Amino acid sequence: MTFGKRLKKLREEKSWQLEKVAKYLKVSIATVSNYERDFRKPDIDTINKIADLFEVTSDYLIGRTSIKDAILLENEDLPKELKEIGIEYLEVNKELKKKGLSPEDILDIIEAIEKTGLRKRDR
């Protein structure tokens, strides 16, 4: 799915008019319409504003992931145990974040999975 199609889908899911998005972005309605029809591409700052507006990641908007509301835990934020098993970053669903899961909680989940033998061995 293209950037424009994702933008239009997000806008329609909220039942918003083009005008509302244009006003938030401080651009014309025609500009937003051109984004949605893939006639024009926004700059990175505008992509980030759109991501904030719709509470999705910029990676979702540009098609790098199909997960709308993931947050990324960068390498420096990970406990050393997660780094040791080769995880560079994790995508954590916003719902899990709402439940208060910390990186340590995630480590506990990984350890539980390892105990079941579901984790691939010798990657």
pLDDT tens-digit map of 2-39: 999 999 999 999 999 999 999 999 999 999 999 999 99
Which residue ranges form the domains of the chain, and what is each CATH number? 3-61 (1.10.260.40), 70-116 (no CATH)
Q: What does each C-alpha distance from 73 to 43, 91, 119 come to in angstroms?
A: 25, 7, 20
For residue range 70-93, list pLDDT tens digits in order: 555 455 555 666 566 554 444 454
Task: Choose between 63 and 99: higher pLDDT.
Answer: 63
Please give the pLDDT value at position 43: 95
Percent of all residues in the chain with a pLDDT value above 90, rounded to a whole number: 44
| Phi and psi angles of residue 31, each rounded to the nearest 5 degrees, phi first | -65, -45
Which DSSP symbol is given to 119?
S
Task: Choose between 91 and 42: higher pLDDT.
Answer: 42
Note the pTM of the prediction, 2 decimals. 0.59
